[in-house]
Structure 1
Amino acid sequence: MSKRQESKFKIDRRLGVNLWGRSKSPLNKREYGPGQHGQRRKKPSDYGLQLMAKQKLKGYYGNIGEKQFRRIYAEAVRRKGDTGENLIGLLERRLDAVVYRMKFAPTPFAARQIINHGHILVNGRRLNIASARLKDNDVVEVKTKSKQMALILEASASGERDIPDYLEVDSSALKGRFVRAPLLADVPYPVQMEPNLVVEFYSR
């Protein structure tokens, strides 16, 4: 279970963005940070901008821990091509990200939880590791006994998000296919993500 299950919207207020684009975000009512000095605004340094970009990416994918995020970044560096694009591609290959994108869960935190509880099958076999990396054409589906869960049905019927083009989903069967890793421009982030600043942060 996620360590941020009860306080995920604190991430929104701390970063000053509606990270998941949800109507429930407290930032819709108070567009400033928490605490006594939350309404003070000062121009961030280059380091501050890079740190914020990293925190936004980590937070968006269920508040990934620093050690795990650094491993993903190291893998992105090793791969050929643009490191920022590689980083996004690797993050979008995570099983919890795909379950969230396919609208089988309302949030990345909920996606991680239903995976940990064994409700998701990959290529017909149960997989309960949220950070598992999918390959092109892997098939992801909700286990038959779990298809009537209210959380999953409500998420699938929600009009809050659209399913991106790099996934194929049969919403009625709660089953989908991971077609390919996306580029940054393909990912429907509610806020601007800047993986190039994350690369700069780790390259310091």
Structure 2
Amino acid sequence: MTKRTSAKYKIDRRMGENIWGRAKSPVNKREYGPGQHGQRRKNKLSDFGTQLRAKQKLKGYYGDLTEKQFRKIYGEAERVRGDTGEMLIGLLERRLDAVVYRAKLVPTIFAARQFVNHGHVSVNGKRVNIASYRVKEGDVVEVREKSKQLAIVIEALASGERDIPDYLEVDAGKKVVKFVRTPGLSDVPYPVQMEPNLIVEYYAKN
């Protein structure tokens, strides 16, 4: 399991955006960055800075992935025919922890990673405890029987904080999710603008 080295709300403040759209985000109260120098006037970002920020934001959104993890996923997206940015989003959304989060089985992407790692989820009837496991179209993800009454699951499903996208079919009563299709950028309900095209530019130059 990847060790998360920064608190999730520090990521929000560092980006200056409420990247998960959560009501508790400190950005809702103050938009400047963390630390004693956070309120200094922001200089206009260079092209490199803008591209780097886009990469950091997307990495942070999916649970603060390490650069090694993210670069590997990007490399796979680059090898597939088609728009690399779109392919990158599709691969990220196929991660098992992302599917669990999108289906509202847990409240946050960080909780989703932990939920999967602790063995609460099965894919096509087989227990999977690897958060980065990549689901395929038609795969069925289910909360294991012994875990279906956990408070975290019941509360997350009852929350009105997020909507479930149409590339997932969710039976909230049975805690079952079907991954219908791989989404593109416009299909994913990001609370803030994600710009994978800038990430493609970043890796093209670095």
> How would you bin the TM-score normalised by the shorter chain?
over 0.9
Which position in structure 2 is the counterpart of 1:50? 51
Kindly provide the amino acid, as one letter, of the partner of residue 89 in structure 1: G
Q: CA RMSD in A?
A: 1.1
* 1:70-111 Cα deviation digits (max 9, x unpaired): 010000000010000000000000000000000011001000
> Any residues of structure 2 matched to 1:107-118 within 5 Å, and which?
107-118=108-119
1:2–1:109 contact (8 Å) kept in structure 2: no
Which position in structure 1 is the counterpart of 2:3? 3
Deviation at 1:5, TM superposition (A): 8.1
Extract unaligned runs of 5+ from structure 1.
none
* 1:28-61 Cα deviation digits (max 9, x unpaired): 1111111222122211000000000000100000
1:2–1:113 contact (8 Å) kept in structure 2: no
Deviation at 1:2, TM superposition (A): 5.6
> Any residues of structure 2 matched to 1:160-175 within 5 Å, and which?
160-175=161-176
Mapped to 2, the partners of 1:92 and 1:111 lie a distance apart of 13
Extract unaligned runs of 5+ from structure 2.
none
Give the secondary structure class of the aligned counterpart of 1:121. strand
Q: Does 1:146 align with 2:140?
A: no
1:114–1:120 contact (8 Å) kept in structure 2: yes
The sequence identity of aligned pairs, in percent, is: 71
> Any residues of structure 2 matched to 1:22-171 within 5 Å, and which?
22-39=22-39, 40-171=41-172
Give the secondary structure class of the aligned counterpart of 2:186. helix
TM superposition score normalised by structure 1: 0.97
Mapped to 1, the partners of 2:104 and 2:20 lie a distance apart of 13
Change (3 A) 1:77 1:173: same
Kindly provide the amino acid, as one letter, of the partner of residue 182 in structure 2: A
Give the secondary structure class of the aligned counterpart of 1:148. coil
Deviates more, 1:69-78 or 1:39-48: 39-48
Kindly provide the amino acid, as one letter, of the partner of residue 174 in structure 2: A
Which position in structure 1 is the counterpart of 2:182? 181
Which position in structure 2 is the counterpart of 1:15? 15
Mapped to 1, the partners of 2:5 and 2:118 lie a distance apart of 15
Kindly provide the amino acid, as one letter, of the partner of residue 47 in structure 1: F
Change (3 A) 1:6 1:76: closer
1:169–1:176 contact (8 Å) kept in structure 2: yes
Mapped to 2, the partners of 1:36 and 1:62 lie a distance apart of 25
* 1:110-146 Cα deviation digits (max 9, x unpaired): 0000100000010011000000010000000100110
Kindly provide the amino acid, as one letter, of the partner of residue 82 in structure 1: D
Show structure 1 runs of 4+ deviating over 3 A.
none
Mapped to 2, the partners of 1:194 and 1:170 lie a distance apart of 31
Kindly provide the amino acid, as one letter, of the partner of residue 139 in structure 1: V
